[in-house]
Amino acid sequence: MNIGKRCAAEFLGTFWLVFGGCGSAVLAAVVANKMAHDGGNTFVNLGIGLVGVSFAFGLTVLTMAYAIGHISGCHLNPAVSVGLWIAKRFPFADLVPYVISQVAGGFIGALVLYFIASGKTGFEIGGFACNGFGEHSPGGYNIVSAFLAEVVLTFFFLMIILGATDKRAPAGFAPIAIGLGLTLIHLIGIPVTNLSVNPARSTGPALITALFGGSTTAISQVWLFWAAPIIGAFLAGVVYPQISDEK
């Protein structure tokens, strides 16, 4: 498969990850409904919450892995591409085109999500599912906690990917393991950083808040959500071949 078609698949896959995952947070995480029997004064939360958002991110990867895994490998994430390159599963020559396609897909996914979300009366962009630390962490975690969480969670995400796609692993089940792995990682990490483990996922919403919300906070913090995932992926790319005796 030529590089153009593979990059197109990565663009579409990363679009789906950001649109689906961040869309679940922006559009469905908290949905209030007035109860008619109380004169419309009582609000009931019908949102999907942290668990629902976590599953949404996992499902985007699971579905795309089956849809485009045979085309591009379904990385959808610059850190994944780096980790696979370090593990000698992916050629360096394809690294930059993949990363550009992933970041572009993430940005366009966030842009389409913004245009949909802003069509509702009273819409406020708010955090727009951006990642953050300090006062922009959902749980108020500091920069050290955020950095460590992103490194560790990305490391284990790559370990899951490398193990599930090992030629010795049961065939056909890798997307399920990877999708559920990402779900678990979100369940752990959303309170800390809103969870990234993916620089493309972080960059798209951060750019949208800067362009349409007038806030540069997410952009000013996005460096952490490039550095920490790439470090975690790099470490996994070194460790997995050592413990697996992969040839």
The CATH number linked to 94 is: 1.20.1080.10
CA distance 10 to 226: 18
Residues with Cβ within 8 Å of 58's Cβ and at least 6 positions away in sequence, in order, are 179, 180, 181, 182, 183, 186
Tell me: pLDDT of 65 over 70. Answer: yes
CA distance 237 to 209: 33
56 and 24 in contact (C-beta within 8 Å)? yes
Tell me: pLDDT of 32 over 80. Answer: no
The predicted pLDDT at position 39 comes to 53
For the chain, counts of helices (H) and of strands (E): 9, 2
Q: Where are the beta strands (DSSP E) in 126-207?
A: none
pTM for this structure?
0.94
Residues with Cβ within 8 Å of 119's Cβ and at least 6 positions away in sequence, in order, are none
Chain CA centroid to CA 190, Å: 11
Which two three-digit tokens encode residue 5?
A: 């078609």
Tell me: pLDDT of 38 over 60. Answer: no
Domain of residue 95, residue span: 3-244
CA distances from 49 to 23, 27, 90, 139, 192 (A): 12, 11, 36, 15, 15
Q: pLDDT tier at 45 (50, 70, 90 boundaries)?
A: confident
Tell me: pLDDT of 35 over 60. Answer: no
* Burial class of residue 120 in the structure, from the number of CB atoms within 10 Å of its CB (0-12 exposed, 13-18 middle, 19+ buried): exposed
Q: pLDDT tier at 115 (50, 70, 90 boundaries)?
A: very high
Cα first-last separation, the chain? 24
Region for 45 from its dihedrals, namely left if φ exceeds 0, alpha if ψ lies in -120 to 50, beta otherwise: beta
- What number is the average pLDDT over the span 176-180? 98
The predicted pLDDT at position 197 comes to 98
- Lowest average pLDDT, out of 16-20, 146-150, 211-215, 227-231, goes to 211-215
Helix or strand (DSSP H, E) at 32: strand 32-34
Tell me: pLDDT of 36 over 90. Answer: no
- What number is the average pLDDT over the span 57-83? 98
Q: pLDDT tier at 6 (50, 70, 90 boundaries)?
A: very high
Positive or negative CA dihedral for 237, 238, 243, 244?
positive
The predicted pLDDT at position 30 comes to 80
Q: How many domains does one find in the chain?
A: 1
Tell me: pLDDT of 101 over 70. Answer: yes
Averaged pLDDT of the chain: 94
Residues of the chain above pLDDT 70, percent:
94
- What number is the average pLDDT over the span 211-237? 97
The predicted pLDDT at position 44 comes to 65
- What number is the average pLDDT over the span 49-60? 96
CA distance 53 to 90: 30
Tell me: pLDDT of 171 over 90. Answer: no
Q: pLDDT tier at 207 (50, 70, 90 boundaries)?
A: very high
Q: Give 170's DSSP letter.
A: P
